[in-house]
Amino acid sequence: MEIGLLLTKVAVILFVGFIGSLIARKFKLPNVSGYLVLGLLIGPSLGLIFPGYEGFITSSDQDVFGFISELALAFIAFSIGSEFAIKRVKKMGKEISVITLLEVLGAVSLVFIAMLFIPKPDSMSSGYNPFSNSSIAFALILASMSAATAPAATLMVMRQYRANGPVSKAIVPITALDDIFGIIIFGFFLSIAQLLLPQGDPLPVWLMISKPFIEVFGSLIIGLIIGIALSYGAKKFDKISDDIQVLSLIAIYATVGGLTLMNHYMSDFGISFSPLLANIMVGSVIANIALKPNRTFQSINDLATPFYIIFFTLAGA
């Protein structure tokens, strides 16, 4: 895509998102609602209703803008980490862990049972067995996906309305823990599904079992290292806010870019580290050991809004 056309489309996306937020506020709705709804009008999704309509933002354009979505999610994950200050977590006690565990187990169990017993197209054929390996594998995969949540929209709505009550303070850590549990459960269930339906050269059983833990703890360790480095840099260059902003961007970009490269080279082993978890850990480290954590988080918040608008408008498209 030519640079001129690319910049024009970025401008249109921002303008559409801005208008969407104005309309949403008129109806007392969150800005995110406006981004998503008006994004639908400029993207290829509308082609499902009007055949032949490819949209101002085409499917190939969305691939080009993919890196913006990655950055937006990285900024959101970094901000979520601010909710994991040890003092704040201690005040909440065990309730967050209990709520998260019950939520995840409830969703996974219900979806697994539903997918196992709800009639499917092939259930009408003779000899269909709901407890066959293929049926169980299908139910396991969908059930594991049900554990994950999307913290992006939640965080945006909370920021817009400056929600700061006990429920709001609990929601963000719960959504983050959901992702951790979701990655572990998905890894385990995927391994079981691969054992039920082996294809090609299967991974060793020990790797299938340990893979979810390698992915989760590997992501957290990398985030921990980068977070400590950022905390040291922010402490050393805390006099000028622009310096903190640049260092924060370096840390976030390095986390996303570094893990993406690692995933490329580890693909033969089926291992995929999570930039989302890593950036949550970076933010958590800043919240706990940086001298002035609020300055670091604010430096990212000051520039992240355009990325959020593009991300949610494209999500609607």
pLDDT at 23: 96
Q: How far apart are CA 34 and CA 316, in angstroms?
A: 9
Mean pLDDT across the stretch 290-305?
90
Count of structural domains, the chain: 2
Length of the chain measured in residues:
317
Of the residues 64, 83, 106, the one at which a domain ends? 64
Q: Residue type for 42, please?
A: I
Tell whether 47 and 192 lie within a shared domain: no
In this structure, what CATH number is given to the domain that contains residue 108?
A: 1.20.1530.20
Closest CA to 137 of 117, 118, 116, 122: 116
Q: Give the CA count within 13 Å in the CB-facing half-sphere of 274.
A: 27
Q: How far apart are CA 194 and CA 136, in angstroms?
A: 11
Instruction: Give 21's pLDDT tier (boundaries 50, 70, 90).
Output: very high
Q: Which value, to the nearest 10 degrees, does the dihedral of the CA atoms of residues 191, 195, 200, 206 take? A: 60
Q: How far apart are CA 317 and CA 310, in angstroms?
A: 10
pTM of this prediction?
A: 0.85
pLDDT at 202: 65
Tell whether 274 and 296 lie within a shared domain: yes
Mean pLDDT across the stretch 175-181?
82
